[in-house]
Structure 1
Amino acid sequence: MRVAVIGGSTIDERTEETARRLGRLLGERGHTVVCGGLGGVMRAVCEGATRAGAETVGILPGEDPAAANKWVSTPIATGLGNARNVLVALNGEGVVAVDGATGTLSEIGHALDFGRPVAGLAAHDPGLEGFEATETPTEAIEYVERAASGAA
């Protein structure tokens, strides 16, 4: 399954470790990670997933695929700026939000509009159907796996 991971581009060490662990667990479970392809949560989740042998897709805001972080295996340049947030949300069958600010909120909204289940790890809880606040990366993954399969 493709899981979109969204979150802050500037993060602290604790959030970085959480995102890296999330990526590792997603990779170990055979998932492909889709993200915005840059720094912060995006870089950390890609590092964890890549180290676990998973594919990572970075949907970039600019026109240069080389702008992707070094852990992205498939960079996709869009030239869309923050409008690429729609594509990140659309291309995950489930979404995990880690931390984040307004860009992450927009991606949560788009994901819910597309009917994608969203798990939040220290993320803004919009209080909407389809969003589940979770405490650990494992809980987040288990929620999106269940919800995407229709078992939630």
Structure 2
Amino acid sequence: MGPGNPKDSEILKHAEEIGMQIASRKWVLLTGGRKAGVMDAASKGASEAGGEVIGILPGDSHRGMSDFVSIPIVTGVGSARNYINILSSDIVIVCGMGLGTSSEAALAMKHGKPTLFTKVGKSQLDFFQSLTNKKILFFDESDALFEFIEKNLIKD
């Protein structure tokens, strides 16, 4: 999960790397499905690495869909799709921050989904930490992020 219009291009490069890492493990990437920001970059990384990409689209058509989505789900529910994104995910990776992303992160935490933050500012992390007694998990690099996932969240 991440902003559709991040201010920092490094976030997009990082999202693309996350998508590649997900696909390289034969996991399925689920995004907001739009041809914008983090969702498009992660979808591109996963698709180009041969992975499956599910796109949960806000509108009532494929209009504005990322070219890299392999399985589109048209919802017609606008931002309410954030619930679908979170409840359909096993692990939520928050890459960057925006208004929609903040709602997804809060929903993930509320519903007990493993929520991992990357490319998020300290004040934003502090805000989310203030909402929970659990330690907020933050990773600077994708290798450390995926090492944590594989060691702690994936059950054989």
Band of TM-score, shorter chain? 0.7 to 0.9
Number of residue pairs matched by the alignment: 146
Is 1:74 aligned to 2:71, yes or no? yes
Alignment of 1:143 with 2:148, yes or no, is yes
Instruction: Give the corresponding residue for 1:93.
Output: 90
Q: Per-residue deviation at 1:61?
A: 0.8
> Aligned-pair distance for 1:144?
3.6
Segments of 5+ residues of structure 2 without an aligned counterpart are: none
Amino acid at match of 2:49: A
Partner of 1:42: 39
Give the percent of matched residue pairs that are identical in Structure 1 and Structure 2: 29
Unaligned runs of 5+ in 1: 1-5
Structure 1 equivalent of residue 9 of structure 2: 13
The CA deviation at 1:15 is 1.1
SS of 1:71's equivalent?
coil
Stretch of structure 1 that moved more, 59-68 or 81-90: 59-68
Aligned match of 1:115: 112
Give the TM-score normalised by structure 1: 0.88
Deviations 1:99-126 (A, max 9, x none): 0212111101111122111110122321
- Which stretches of structure 1, 4 residues or longer, exceed 6 Å deviation after superposition? none
Q: For the Cα contact (< 8 Å) 1:7–1:42, is it kept in 2?
A: yes
Structure 2 residue identity aligned to 1:27: A
Once residues 114 and 16 of structure 1 are traced to their aligned partners in structure 2, the CA distance between those partners, rounded to angstroms, is: 27
Report the TM-score when normalising by structure 2.
0.86
Q: Which has the higher strand share?
A: 1
Give the secondary-structure state (helix, strand or coil) at the position aligned to 1:119: strand
Partner residue in 1 for 2:138: 133
In the alignment, residue 122 of structure 1 is paired with which amino acid? Answer: K
Distance 1:145 1:71, change over 3 A: same
Q: Does the Cα contact within 8 Å between 1:9 and 1:100 map onto a contact in 2?
A: no
Question: What is the Cα-based RMSD across aligned positions, in Å?
Answer: 1.8
Q: Which has the higher contact order (CA 8 A, sep 6+)?
A: 1
Q: 1:96 to 1:45 in 2, by over 3 A?
A: same
Following the alignment from structure 1 to structure 2, what is the Cα–Cα distance between the partners of residues 76 and 136? 30
Describe the shift of the 1:54–1:36 C-alpha distance in structure 2 as closer, same or farther (beyond 3 A): same
Closer/same/farther in 2, CA of residues 146 and 103 from structure 1, 3 Å limit: farther
* Structure index of larger Rg: 2
